[in-house]
Structure 1
Amino acid sequence: MLLCVPFAGAGPSFFHPWRELAGDRWRVVPVELPGRERRFLETPYRNVVEAAKNSVDDIVAELGAGARTVLFGHSLGAVLAYELVHLLGTRDVRVERLVVSGSPGPWTQRERRATGLPDEEFLARVEEFAGFRHEALDHPEMRELILPVLQADCEMHENYVPSTDDPVSVPICSLRGSSDGLVSADQGREWRHATTGGFGYAEFPGDHMYLVDRAREVLDLIEAESAGPR
């Protein structure tokens, strides 16, 4: 199974196209957080560790005991996936690999922040970070739904502190857009210190949100990595 953890503001539907692209290689299981899509009436989390702890039981039930599982997370999803690996390691879930994307190592604090800015400044900063503006934010009704979730997600990402200094034992592969202005190559490679297992690093053409256009290539790389040493 490929457990996919969304980035700030995103919901599980972002990964629905990945199901067809994955074919029979993976069963793609997106994590569904409060405040979005089917859970839009629920209050979004503002703390990564709390989000992981409160989500893990549902994830274990969805994956099933003994499931062969790879975790993928982009940006906010990367640190949330990292926390989930720690938790799943105490359950009967076989996490074989963690694939993180668009993220510095878990102990690196975000220097450029959007949390606490007025709405327009906040959106401008997020647009600067991501390299694009979601068209839904230009529609007042959709913006009213999306903005609080995006603000909560950014707050929990920018204030993230790992629950433990202990690295995970599963191999980690770190991915990055080659022209990402938010996460440097050196920061992407910081993840080698977050595992006692193997480490890999790869770049794709594009900026911070490269994966919007590179889903097939990302899945191909995940498959290749998962076929390698564990």
Structure 2
Amino acid sequence: MVLFPVDSDLWCRRFHPSPDAVERLVCFPHAGGSASFYFPVSAALAGRVDVVALQYPGRQDRRAEPCVEDLGVLADAVLDALRGQDDLPLTFFGHSMGALLAFEVARRLEREGRTIERLFASGRVAPSVPRRESLHLLPDDDLVAAVTEMSGTDALVLADEEIRRMALPALRADLHAVETYHCAPGAPLECPVTVLIGDTDPRTPPDDARAWQSHTTASCDLETFPGGHFFLSDHPKPVLTLLHTHHTPTRRPA
């Protein structure tokens, strides 16, 4: 049972509406992240591609809603929010926690007989690779230090006490969701998977990233980019080029 509003407008943000789009890209934010993280992706692909950035409960304009501490519950809610969004060819892009969430939503969609063109899994080891972390249990100061070290959140922003007080509940809930996640047995995806990692990101060793292959019956490619865990923010151009290539009529079939 979904415990959260399923109003598509609450979940699905379109920064650059593209009424003539012929493909759709759904973007899943990282832990503590929001839809606005994908504004540059939307700006780069707008026109041909309908870029949908998900806004999870508990942050920004959804701050009054309860945060979600279970990845499966969140996946069920996103699934409901995306109903009717597969009238165009559908591609998923998720970064870090968002990659796991995109995987779980893709699983659910395929079980319903729906089709995903490709899953881009960014900055995350395969769902079956255990990650024994408990950042969500850290005191506030230690949690802020750990996240800042990954360059996921501007240290100056988190230094502001009011912003920090608003941001930490969503961050902690997201970390709880991903750190308590267990990949349940089930059929692998039928869509191809492209895994993206930063060449200096200690959180996504190449061998653990390649393990995504076991989660799809289609192809699984590994793309390495300069940068750390948030290489998409630090060096966006090559990632955007990859997405442009995927969303062109002449792209090669998987």
Describe the shift of the 1:130–1:47 C-alpha distance in structure 2 as closer, same or farther (beyond 3 A).
farther
- Which residue of structure 2 lines up, in the alignment, with residue 166 of structure 1? 187
| Aligned pairs, number | 228
Instruction: Give the distance between the partners of 1:180 and 1:225, measured in 2 at CA.
Output: 24
Name the aligned partner's letter for residue 87 of structure 1.
R
2 CA distance for matches of 1:137 and 1:34? 20
Percentage identity across aligned positions?
32
Query: Given that residues 120 and 194 in structure 2 are in contact (C-alpha distance below 8 angstroms), is that contact kept between their aligned partners in structure 1?
Result: yes
Distance in 2, matches of 1:66 and 1:166, equals 24
Partner of 2:98: 77
Amino acid in structure 1 at the alignment position of 2:147: V
Alignment of 1:89-100 (within 5 A): 89-91=110-112, 93-100=114-121
- Residue in 1 aligned with 2:82? 59
AA of the residue aligned to 1:21: A
Residue 109 (structure 1) aligns with: 130
CA contact (8 A) 1:129 1:181 kept: no
Distance 1:163 1:32, change over 3 A: farther
The more displaced of 104-113 and 84-93 is 84-93
Kindly indicate whether residue 68 of structure 2 is the aligned counterpart of residue 45 of structure 1.
yes
CA shift, 1:214, in A, is 2.9
Work out whether 1:229 is the aligned partner of 2:240.
Answer: no
Contact 1:100 1:174 survives alignment (8 Å): yes
Q: Name which of 24, 28, 31 aligns with 1:5.
A: 28
Provide the rounded CA distance (Å) in 2 between the counterparts of 1:153 and 1:195: 25
- The SS at the match of 2:229 is coil
Gap regions ≥5 residues in structure 1: none
Aligned to 1:156: 177
Q: Aligned partners of 2:67, 2:206: CA distance in 1, in Å?
A: 31
RMSD: 1.8
Structure 2's unaligned 5+ residue stretches are 1-23
User: For 1:229 and 1:17, how far apart are their aligned partners in 2?
Assistant: 26
TM-score under structure 1 length normalisation: 0.92
Contact 2:45/2:244 (<8 A) preserved: no
SS at match of 2:82: helix
Q: Which residue of 1 aligns with 2:232?
A: 211
Partner of 1:21: 44
Whole-angstrom distance in 1 between the partners of 2:207 and 2:70: 26
Are the equivalent residues in 2 in contact too, given 1:106–1:162 (CA < 8 A)? Answer: yes
Query: Whole-Å Cα distance in 2 between the matches of residues 73 and 177 of structure 1?
Result: 14
Deviates further, 125-134 or 169-178: 125-134
Q: Classify 1:76/1:30 alpha carbon distance in 2 versus 1 (closer, same or farther; 3 Å).
A: same
Between the aligned partners of 1:134 and 1:26, the Cα distance in structure 2 is 33
One-letter amino acid of the counterpart of residue 115, structure 1: H
Q: Within the alignment, does 1:220 sit opposite 2:241 as a pair?
A: yes
Shift, 1:93, TM fit: 4.4
